[in-house]
Amino acid sequence: MNWMHRTLVGGCMLIVYSACSATEMIYTPISPTFGGNALNSSHIFNVANAQNDHKDPNQPVREKQTALQEFNDRLQRSILSRITSVLSANIIGSDGTINPGSFETSDFVISVEDIGGDQVRITTQDKLTGDETVFEIDSSI
């Protein structure tokens, strides 16, 4: 019985061994950074972002606005847009040229000066902080 048991086990091992064969393994990268398909990049980025639970400590925290706060913000932007249009109409003449001068609101001073060579310099200054933005453009738009 012992001999028959060994032969049976040996035969099974032979069958299992002969059924296994090795082939060459080929590595194909998934990430486009390492030579993978470029179409995978957005998917990999989205998966990484979905798993990212870290918050930037320097990013300002935006609190959810109420409907009233959101309405007031939209109203304020709309009014500022109209004021900007009125100021633009004062700065740009009916013939399309930019008129030099200074315009003042409660928060800003806008200065338009002719610097020669068909160029004007427009300076916007924040009255509260003193910060300025300066740009130069052709005087005829």
- Domain boundaries in the chain? 96-141
Task: Give the residue ranges of DSSP H helices in the chain.
Answer: 2-19, 41-51, 67-91
Burial group, residue 121, by CB count within 10 angstroms (0-12, 13-18, 19+)? middle
d(CA 120, CA 91): 11
Of 101, 124, 125, 96, residue with least CA distance to 112: 101
* pLDDT value of residue 14: 47
Burial group, residue 124, by CB count within 10 angstroms (0-12, 13-18, 19+)? middle
pLDDT tens profile 108-128: 888 888 888 888 888 999 999
* pLDDT value of residue 76: 86
* pLDDT value of residue 132: 92
* pLDDT value of residue 141: 57
Give SS3 for 121: strand
Q: Which residue ranges in the chain fall short of pLDDT 50?
A: 4-5, 8-12, 14-16
CA distances 112 to 86, 91, 97, 104, 116, Å, are 15, 8, 12, 11, 12
Under 8 Å between Cβ of 122 and 134:
yes
d(CA 12, CA 50): 49
